[in-house]
Amino acid sequence: MANAPHMGNSKVTFKESLIPNQEYRASAWLQINNGWDDNANRAVPMTPQQEAIVQELFKQLIATGAELQITLQHKNSADARSWPTVGRIKLFGNKPQQQVAAPRGDFA
């Protein structure tokens, strides 16, 4: 799917080294970026209208069976085509009754 809709982040770092062949848990939350509140040291919360939009998007993802597929590549040169893939993650939508609140704080 070379031309599939996608999202990306070219500057991902980890707080500690990852161990090959070790199982990890991946989690993600849908949210609308309202910026960062330096005084509170956290993301600016979504408005109730934005929360409703995010809930509707999530319902659509669940209803269609959509998945988020993530590829992690090691940036070892200037040529992105040469970066080796070091991991692949597939995220599935949780059923609405299994939702948990998004964590607050530093997501770095």
Does the pTM of the predicted model rise above 0.85?
no
Beta strands in the chain (DSSP E): 36-37, 42-43, 67-73, 85-92
**8 Å CB contact between 88 and 67:** no
The pLDDT tens digits of the residues spanning 22-43 come to 999 999 989 999 999 999 999 9
Backbone region of residue 105 per phi and psi (left: phi > 0; alpha: psi in -120 to 50; beta: other values): left
The pLDDT tens digits of the residues spanning 34-72 come to 999 999 999 999 999 999 999 999 999 999 999 999 999
